[in-house]
Amino acid sequence: MFEGSLPALVTPFKDGAVDLDTLKRLVEWHLEEGTNGFVPVGTTGESPTLTHAEHEMVIAEVVRAVDGRAPVIAGAGSNNTQEAIRLTQYAETVGADAALIVTPYYNKPTQAGMIAHFTALHDCCNLPIIIYNIPSRSVVDMMPDTMGALAQLPRIIGVKDATGDLSRVPKQRLTCGPDFLQLSGEDGTALGFNAHGGRGCISVTANVAPRLCAQFQKATLAGDYATALDIQDRLMPLHIALFLEPGVAGAKYAMSRLGKCSDEVRLPLVGLTDGTKAKIDAALHHAGLLA
């Protein structure tokens, strides 16, 4: 159910407010382009600067717009266990198909603390839970043995792995089992990730190039790595350029160049420098997305 190209969906803004009309149009565009599922209100959805009411609204609106045509994995993580429980339970009530829960950032819990945190979330609802392991942002790293212990719980079904360490995939196959769902959280290494046993990517670049990302994932999952490599060669400059400056500003700028949404972001994020914009434009041309 959860595999292939799964964009970490941006949250479009208009004059400082969430732009729900554009959000709905983005959902339709993604479905037309072959996107396999949606991950609203993750980091790329600017969850750190959404109010709780906005966070919940975006989940509900995406579920409503998708209307069962693809799975929705709701971002519901927090470094506050009780807050994460509330967001996860809300996602369940509005019909999300799973919850993406980040390892608790800033608090720096131990491995035992992470087990306790995710066990509480598992026990609070009936939603499948996907762990989001991103040490570069959360400062803590869930070890494969810890993940293996959590994988024993029936609703802890997988991981979004943004460690950038391809050896994690086979290590986690050993501790979690071959049926544990492993999704890449890094576009640039998604080909190798799937070759090691991954089943897809929760992708930033898929916001900009959904058709190419869906074709790329379809090729890897079919074992057609020659086709996947050809697509990767087209997309790699974009994978790089979108992250020349932190946050989602790169993706939103690229989408604005394609006429899909405004490039507006919320502080403390700011718009891109002219040099980065030029590099993103060049990457869009390289991928064949701009004439």
User: How confident is the model at residue 1, as a pLDDT?
Assistant: 86
The Cα–Cα gap between 212 and 232 comes to: 9
Cβ–Cβ under 8 Å, residues 167 and 197: no
| pLDDT, tens only, 43-56 | 999 999 999 999 99
User: How confident is the model at residue 78, as a pLDDT?
Assistant: 97
Element of type H or E holding 200 = strand 200-203
Share above pLDDT 90 across residues of the chain, in percent, rounded to a whole number: 99
Sign of CA dihedral 269, 271, 272, 278: positive
| pLDDT, tens only, 159-203 | 999 999 999 999 999 999 999 999 999 999 999 999 999 999 999
The Cα–Cα gap between 112 and 260 comes to: 43
Mean pLDDT (whole number) for 133-147: 97
Task: Set out the domains of the chain in order of their start, with CATH numbers.
Answer: 4-224 (3.20.20.70)
Number of helices (H), then strands (E), in the chain: 12, 9
User: How confident is the model at residue 257, as a pLDDT?
Assistant: 98
3-state secondary structure of 184: strand
Structure tokens at 177: 């089992």
| Average pLDDT along the chain | 98
Provide the whole-model pTM: 0.97
Structure tokens at 124: 């609070």
E strands present in the chain: 4-7, 13-14, 17-18, 73-75, 98-102, 129-133, 156-161, 181-184, 200-203
Residue 291 pLDDT grade (very low, low, confident, very high; cuts 50, 70, 90): confident
CA 45 to chain centre: 9
* Position 139 pLDDT exceeds 90: yes
Catalytic residue ranges: 132, 160
Q: Which residues contact 191 (CB under 8 A, 6 or more apart)?
A: 216, 220, 225, 228, 229, 232
Mean pLDDT (whole number) for 80-94: 98
User: How confident is the model at residue 4, as a pLDDT?
Assistant: 98
- Tell me the backbone φ, ψ of residue 99, rounded to 5 degrees: -125, 140
